[in-house]
Chains A and B, each alone.
Chain A
Amino acid sequence: MAGVNKENNILFLLVVGLAGWIVPGGGQFILNKKKQAVILFTTILITFCLGLYVGSIGVVDPVGASYWYLAQIITSPFVAILGHHTAGGGYAVYGKPEEIGQLYTSMAGLLNLLCIINAVYLARLRQIGLKEG
């Protein structure tokens, strides 16, 4: 019985983490923190889109800029769709737009990582019955 509970706990943490990855703020949404979820979703989406606006979708490049891509993919798995289209190098972008675009899109991913960690932490606190603080 205790084993089943433990598995359910881990499963819930995984669901919260995955929801936060698939949709920024999704983890907070599951934890019924809807106001926070909306603010996080909007901020991260705007940051990512601003990066795409400055540098075009060419800044998401899993082949030529793989280290940046690692941070960008944390924004959402949907970034992989962009990566699939740009992998051939057909959307090359250089210079300042590339730099600013990569910085913004990667920062959106890292901010989402922060949100995912926070959501999983809050979910764990609820499981063990501690108050957030």
Chain B
Amino acid sequence: MSPQSVLWLLPLAVALSVVYKTLKLRDIKPGNFIKEVATVFGSIVLFTVIAAGVLLFLSWLMTE
């Protein structure tokens, strides 16, 4: 497993964001829809990075 393989998360996060927002929004207008999808996508990536950082810090604490 290479660190780059984590990038496979990105297309999956896009698919998840698109489906979630399609089901949530009552009226789909392109500009608003893209903005909403980008927000969900950004949130997923951000929290994944935060979770990875916390786990990395914990593993560093335990192995030091």
Contact = CB atoms under 8 A, between A and B. Distances in A.
A40 B20 CA distance: 10
A47 to B, nearest CB: 4
B26 A107 contact: no
A3 B19 CA distance: 36
Contacts of A35: 28
Nearest to B29: A35
Contact of B22 (A36, A54, A107): A36
A40 B19 contact: yes
A123 interface: no
Interface string B5-30: 10010011001101110110010100
Contacts of B11: 47, 50, 104
A111 B5 contact: no
Contacts of A118: 23
A96 B15 contact: no
24 contacts: A36-B22, A36-B23, A39-B18, A39-B28, A40-B19, A40-B22, A40-B23, A43-B15, A43-B19, A44-B15, A44-B19, A46-B15, A47-B11, A47-B15, A50-B11, A54-B8, A100-B5, A103-B8, A107-B15, A108-B15, A111-B16, A114-B19, A118-B23, A132-B26
Interface of B: 1, 5, 8, 11-12, 15-16, 18-20, 22-23, 26, 28
